[in-house]
Each structure stands twice: as structure tokens, then as C-alpha cells.
Amino acid sequence: MSVGTNEQKPLSRNKLLRIAGVGWMFDAMDVGILSFIIAALAVDWGLNSSQMGWIASVNSIGMAVGAVLFGVLADKVGRKQIFMWTLIIFSVASGLSAFTTTLTLFLILRFFVGMGLGGELPVASTLVSESVKAEERGRVVVLLESFWAGGWLIAALIAYFVIPAEFWPLEGWRVALLITAIPALYAIYIRMKLPDSPQFRVKEESKKRSVFQNIATLWEKKYARSTLMLWVLWFAVVFSYYGMFLWLPSVMVGKGFDLISSFKYVLIMTLAQLPGYFTAAWFIEKFGRKFVLVTYLLGTAASAFVFGGAETIETLLISGMLLSFFNLGAWGALYAYTPEQYPAIVRGTGAGMAAAIGRVGGIFGPLLVGTLLTKGYDISFIFAIFCVAIVIGVLAVIFLGKETKQTELQ
């Protein structure tokens, strides 16, 4: 028997993309805001590099927990319900964090923000993957990921115009966090408009299956190679992404630019994400998932290497824009590729577990930057570490990955 929401009339591809994409955009806005909030809190609360790294890492710890928990629940109660509740959790916690006065309480709330974010992303990509035709699935999921750039652009604009301003009695960064509570209202719209995945069914088999059975299935002979590949790839991508991108404004400050100028330059770099997504969306159905992942990740590694050692504003901007272009294009392919590895009964679990392993990388990435900066290591050396991690992810795709272009989901 199907879930009640499945009786709704299926949405058109574009409407589904728009509804799910706005939720994705809100996620990106929150993550993007955090990178600017960290730089502002460093000034306002006098944080050192290690404390700044912990803010980003606690967010990733929450994302790891949320990816596992909500990925499993998505296979039990449906993709739509989990998508809605994760939006509520992260937006309410983010709004409440605007009123914190201590780093400890801020970190606790960021954990819950991370839980919501970590659960929403793999569940949303699974829902969209299961709702479109095989021949356009990859392109649509990459376009879903492109809403991430929109969220980062909004975050950069808020950072540029809101965070430096004073809104008595609140500082600008507190007002910015209050804005991130808006997605809670959007969840009500989702409740009314979004049907569940047409592939999700509550069957006796899924009711009887335990969480441990679902996780064990990922390591059965049929799926073990794909699971290993995804876990290595996700760890490498998230480790490098959060290590680099959450520190971009702070790195710019460290290279001698003031806070306002740093926000402006990061906004310019962020604009390059959009063509990165759109080109990846075109290539992914023409040349395949593996081609896009390998090409765009190698482009990311090369750009990161140049950015880490850049001394002039021209080199920083060009390499930073290329870093955004290639890295976010690779993210789009990653979200398209992941749900295609598993059958529907464990697809949420598989995508959630892969994302959770990635979030473990997201814990260590920002901490690594903070720790090494505190010890006096140059940023070029730190970015070289991220380059190596990305290359390891590329090798996993080449030797362990299978091409899933235009294959029907099980």
C-alpha cells in the first residue's frame, strides 16, 4: 500500500525542481552565512583559530549524525516528511543561535543546525532522483545542486550588507542568523505542495527491516564496491570543501585584506559557482558521471593549489573563481551519482551513510586549518593537503566507480 502523499498528482519536473531547490538554497544560505559569521565572531568575541575551527567542525558533527539518522528514517517514513522536518530543525536552531552570548551555547545550537542540514541534503537528492526519468535524472539533480550557488550568493549579500551594520540592540551577525530562520515557514508550503517519491512504498518488507539490516545491505557483495568508492569520495570532497570554503573570508583577511573587502571578493568568487553547475549539468548526460567527477575534481585540486600560494589580488580572484567553478560542479555530479548506486529500499540509508562519512571529513577539515594556522604553517601548505585528498577521491572514482548514466533506478 502506498503512502497517502503518493496519491497526489505528480509534479512536473520543473515544479519539483523549484520546490526542492528552494529548500536546498536555504541550506546553502545557512552554510554560507556560517563562513562569514565565523570571521565576524573572531572579531566580536576575540576567538582564536582553533575556536573558529571548532564552530565549523561542530556543524559537521551534527551533519554526520543527521545524515545517518534522517537517511534511515527516509527509508522508513518517506522522503517528503523527512525533508520537511529537517528544514524546520535547522532553521529554528539557526534562528535561536542569534541570541547566544557564549561560544558553548552557540556550538550546541550549531550541532542541531548541522543535524537538519545533514539530513536534508541526501534526502532531497534522493527524492528528486526517484521522481524524474532516467535520461534526465543526472541533469536535474545537478540543477538541484545549482540552487546551492543561489544560497551562497544570498549569504554573501547578507554578509556584505547586514553583518557589518548595527541593528540596535542586535549586532549585524545576529540579524543575519535570524534571517536563516525563514525556512521553517517554507516547510509549511512543502507540506501542501510536494508529493512523496513515486518509488517510496511502505511494504511489509521495509517495516520488518531493521536499521542494521539496511546498513549491512550496503556491504553485501553486490554493493560493497560502490559503498567503498562513495565513502572515500565523500570524505575527500567534504574534507576539502569545508576546510577551504568555510575559511575563505578568514584566509583573505590573513592575506592582508580587511573584513569588508574579503566579503566582497568571496561574493565575486561565489558567482563562478553558477557556470560550474550549468556546464556540469550539460556534461553529465553527454559524457557521464565519472567524466564530470574526475574532470571537475582535478580542476578543483589545481585551482586550490594556485589559490593557496597566491600573493596578488588578481591571482587570488582568478584561482578562487576557478575553485568555485570546478568544486561546485563536482558537488552536483556527486549528488546525482550517489543515489544511483542502490535500490529504493536502502537508497536513503546508502545516500545518508555516504554523506555522513563525508561529514566526518567536514569535521577534520576546518579543525586542520585552525590547528595548522595556530602552529604557524603557511596556508599554501594547508591547501596542498586538500589537493592530495581530492586526488585520492578521483582515484576512487576511476578504479572503483561504475558509470550510471541513464540507467533505470532499481
Q: Which range of residues forms the domain containing residue 246?
A: 10-192+211-400
Element (H, E) at 216: helix 211-217
pLDDT at 256: 74
- Do the domain assignments include residue 201? no
Distance CA 41, CA 409 (A): 45
At 170, give phi and psi (nearest 5°).
Answer: -105, 140
Q: Give a yes or no: residue 197 inside a domain.
A: no
Q: Note the pLDDT of residue 378.
A: 87
Q: Is 262 part of any domain?
A: yes
- Partners of 167 in the beta sheet? 170
DSSP 167: E
Q: Is residue 4 part of a domain?
A: no
- Which distant-in-sequence residues (6+ apart) come within 8 Å of 238 by Cβ? 60, 358, 359, 361, 362, 365
What is the CATH classification number for the domain harbouring 154? 1.20.1250.20
> Is residue 2 included in any domain, yes or no?
no
- Give the 3-state secondary structure of residue 171: strand
Largest CA distance in the chain: 62
Q: How many domains does the chain have?
A: 1
Cβ neighbours, 10 Å, residue 168:
5
What per-residue confidence (pLDDT) applies to 5? Answer: 41
Distance of alpha carbon 27 from the chain centroid: 8
d(CA 400, CA 339): 16
User: How far apart are the C-alpha atoms of 388 and 32, rounded to whole Å?
Assistant: 25
In a domain, 138, yes or no: yes
Q: What are the beta bridge partners of residue 170?
A: 167
- Closest C-alpha among 235, 233, 218 to residue 75: 218
Per-residue pLDDT of the chain (410 residues), as tens digits, is 333 444 455 567 788 888 888 888 888 888 888 878 888 888 889 988 788 878 878 888 898 899 889 988 888 887 888 888 888 898 889 899 999 989 999 999 999 999 998 888 888 888 888 888 888 888 888 888 888 888 888 888 888 888 888 777 888 899 999 988 887 777 777 767 777 766 665 444 555 667 788 889 999 999 999 999 999 999 999 999 888 887 777 777 777 777 667 777 777 887 888 899 999 989 998 999 999 999 999 999 999 999 888 888 888 889 989 999 999 899 989 988 998 999 888 888 898 899 999 988 988 888 888 888 888 888 889 999 999 999 999 999 999 999 988 776 66
Q: Is residue 407 part of a domain?
A: no
Q: Is 343 within a domain?
A: yes
